[in-house]
Structure 1
């Protein structure tokens, strides 16, 4: 009998600050209503200079590790395209910060926004194989944008981290391992050629996204070995969200696939509102979710008010520039909603500090001076002592100092 494998627990960390999208639009001379409706982003996450992909990952994982003996973790995989070192994986920093034991396999994965699912897949296979010897895997996706002040890309930036426990006790989502479709190609759509640059062609990226979605879905149907009615097979659909608005275009693509008569926009919108929008409620508060997209969508679906039932099948589509698409599915479990709601993700988001456009610009420029800087200490006094108010005594991991490139982290 095959082993049940999937997500046992999940948590999302949305950083400690945010920027209102409408206020940014006004500052840039754009129509605020159109900006929000086009991208489906209300606010975007923003990091203070003492947070990076390591701190975000650890802060997401700390809560998901509550009630779990560190000795139970046998594997730690971290997916990111925003690593702080080209050799040393951030999984080692996180392992040390969380106090995990030494007899653990740990490494970092990279494939643009696919990195999170690229981290999850081997953990799932490891547990399913039985070679885990009863251990669980801790999988984390963590990323944030680079500085894009006063550019057209500025409205689709963000940052977040997602942490999950993968085990043979999938109390949140059981993954259907025999149903997984993939599609790959060699393309330059969006990429990061240096530690500072984040560049690409948005139009090429959009077409590649749709090609990968359709191609991986076709492969999924082949793997399932049966005819699939897209509208009836899945209760909810979660898409990769470099910005939430792209999910509508993706959903339209699959709804109209193989139809002789294409659906009207009103019909597509109704189905989108019912089966996709519930999974976008957190990404609308984050902005770009990078490799965390599928996991942010799952957490949003289960922490919201949409009706979910045990046994509901959901689809998930992951995409990574360069490029790869993966379409897969899972079954919601009896306690899935309670487990996610107990993480109090929305309540944590509510505690974030709103930054003005001027503060946002200052923070982004300051963060840039730290990149590949051999020696610096983050300025903890900025933003009206935001550190003291939001971090001090709260037990959050922060970057304390970089000295001769050695990074020192500590719990606040």
Structure 2
């Protein structure tokens, strides 16, 4: 029985920051960001959007009323939780109008938990093949204004429907996970911005990829010849290149060039949006499918998931022949092209306007947010959401 991704949708808000403008404002050469980091634009998240509204928007793009009847579980994977107790999945379930006889849960392990959610979802579907599981990866990457990590901020959500007979990617059973207690990136409960040792984190990422790939290759007896593409979690696009280069050093030039080309396809959306944390790997997957017109059904794709702290996993999937009909690539292109550019000053104002950690009532100006799902503020220490009709 094949189980995997039957549908996949993507959402990011309607504002962006041009990183050339940011470079000038920070007295940096633009190529440090455009080439050295590999980013061009960065999603700017208004105060009226959070992981709940973005996750609901991503899911809304892919769900039919029939799908909603078949969903048994909603899993939200995030490291940008809005409550230390209540799962964001409950809010999402309510906004989407799902039945109350639905299981809801939130998962956390830095950027990795989206992959854990997919694996858990596969297990649930295996128990009852008539059910579908909605997996949402939603995050807002925040490091702080003027920090070294500022250029790798971003945000958005990916929604995936996991079912039998998937039309996008059939996930193969063998995978390899690797975990070690490492402080390369963390965010204490009292902070909305992450703390990170960037160079150390990059080295850990590369090391974990090598460990996972080598173990996977030993167990499956597969080599690079068995794959059409390798895709990576991309907190910034250059990170994936560093990992790929580490295993391509001893490979023939034609093999290295092939996988390098596939990597470039998978980087395109990341360059325009920035870091999605839990959703970054799956945005890479969407990007690969959108920009590589030569992929065909039966191609095997390798996926490397990583979350600081740290955990990595390498697994694989087989591309299905209906993926081009299921994924709305035109909608993704339109959404990105129709975004509004903001100045660095406006970006800084928006960055500092988030609700954050406060017990006071907050009323947000929602007049400029035309999204279907909107955060309108906080009342009696409870977040207030509404669905725009």
Which residue number in structure 2 is paired with residue 151 of structure 1? 147
What pairs up with 1:122-161 in 2 under 5 angstroms?
122-128=120-126, 131-132=127-128, 134-146=130-142, 148-161=144-157
Task: Quote the Cα distance in structure 1 between the aligned partners of 2:101 and 2:214.
Answer: 40
Secondary structure of the structure 1 residue equivalent to 2:101: coil
Q: Deviations over 1:307-341 (max 9, x none)?
A: 11111111100001111110011111111122213
Flag structure 1 segments of 5+ consecutive residues without an equivalent: none
Matches of 1:157 and 1:18, distance apart in 2: 11
Q: Out of 221, 224, 229, which is 2:223 matched to?
A: 229
Contact in 2 for aligned 1:239/1:317 (Cα 8 Å): yes
Q: Which residue is equivalent to 2:109?
A: 111
Name the CA distance, whole Å, in 1 between partners of 2:321 and 2:9: 18
- The alignment status of 1:97 with 2:95, answered yes or no, reads yes
Query: Equivalences for 1:13-52 in 2 at 5 Å?
Result: 13-52=11-50
Query: Contact (CA 8 Å) 1:302, 1:340: kept in 2 or not?
Result: no
Unpaired runs of at least 5, structure 2: none
Structure 2 distance, partners of 1:16, 1:344, is: 13
Q: 2:186 is matched with which residue? A: 191
In structure 1, the partner of 2:357 is 372
The CA deviation at 1:214 is 0.8
CA RMSD, Structure 1 to Structure 2 (Å)? 1.8
Moved more, 146-155 or 90-99: 146-155
Alpha-carbon distance in 1 for matches of 2:141, 2:171: 29
Aligned counterparts of 2:184 and 2:212: Cα–Cα separation in 1 = 18
- 2:159 counterpart (159, 163, 178): 163
Q: Distance in 1 between matches of 2:94 and 2:119?
A: 23
Q: Check 1:68–1:353 CA distance in 2 against 1; reply closer, same or farther (3 A cut).
A: farther
User: How many Å apart are 1:301 and its aligned residue?
Assistant: 1.4
Q: Report which stretch shifted further, 295-304 or 320-329.
A: 295-304
> Which residue matches 1:335?
322
For 2:310, which of 295, 298, 323 is the aligned residue? 323
Residues 57, 123 of structure 1: CA spacing in aligned structure 2 closer, same or farther, 3 A cutoff?
same
How far residue 375 of structure 1 moved from its aligned partner, in angstroms, is 3.0
2:201 equivalent in structure 1: 205
8 A contact 1:7–1:164 mirrored in 2 = yes
Q: Report the 3-state secondary structure (helix = DSSP H, G, I; strand = E; otherwise coil) of the residue aligned with 1:19.
A: strand
Task: State the shift of 1:164 in Å.
Answer: 0.5
**SS at 1:55 equivalent:** helix
Task: Tell me if structure 2 keeps the 8 A contact 1:180–1:223.
Answer: no
User: What is the alpha-carbon distance in structure 1 between the residues aligned to residue 335 and residue 193 of structure 2?
Assistant: 31
Q: Aligned partners of 2:329 and 2:255: how far apart in 1?
A: 35
Bigger mean CA deviation after superposition, 27-36 or 61-70: 61-70
- In structure 2, the partner of 1:406 is 382
Do the aligned partners of 1:49 and 1:378 also contact (CA within 8 Å) in 2? no
Indicate conservation of the 8 Å contact 2:229/2:259, yes or no: no
Match of 2:368 among 386, 399, 402: 386
> Does the CA-based 8 Å contact 1:210-1:250 persist in structure 2?
yes
- Alignment match, 1:61: 59
Indicate if the aligned counterparts of 1:147 and 1:364 stay in contact, CA closer than 8 A: no
Offset at residue 378 of structure 1 (A): 4.4
| Contact preservation (8 Å) 1:77, 1:107 | yes
Whole-angstrom CA distance in 1 between matches of 2:157 and 2:301: 22
Secondary structure in 1 aligned to 2:75?
A: strand
Query: Does residue 346 in structure 1 map to residue 329 in structure 2?
Result: no
SS in 1 for 2:144: coil
Change (3 A) 1:302 1:133: closer
Number of corresponding residues: 387
C-alpha distance in 1, partners of 2:383/2:89?
A: 14
Residues 144 and 193 in structure 2, CA contact (< 8 A), matched pair in contact too? no
> Tell me, what secondary structure is at the counterpart of 1:302?
helix
1:297 alignment counterpart: 284
310 and 95 in structure 1: CA distance in 2 versus 1, 3 angstrom threshold? same
Cα displacement string for residues 93-113 of structure 1 (whole angstroms, at most 9, x for unaligned residues): 111111111211110000000
TM-score normalised to structure 2 length: 0.95
CA distance in 2, matches of 1:33, 1:95: 43
Question: How much does 1:305 deviate?
Answer: 4.2
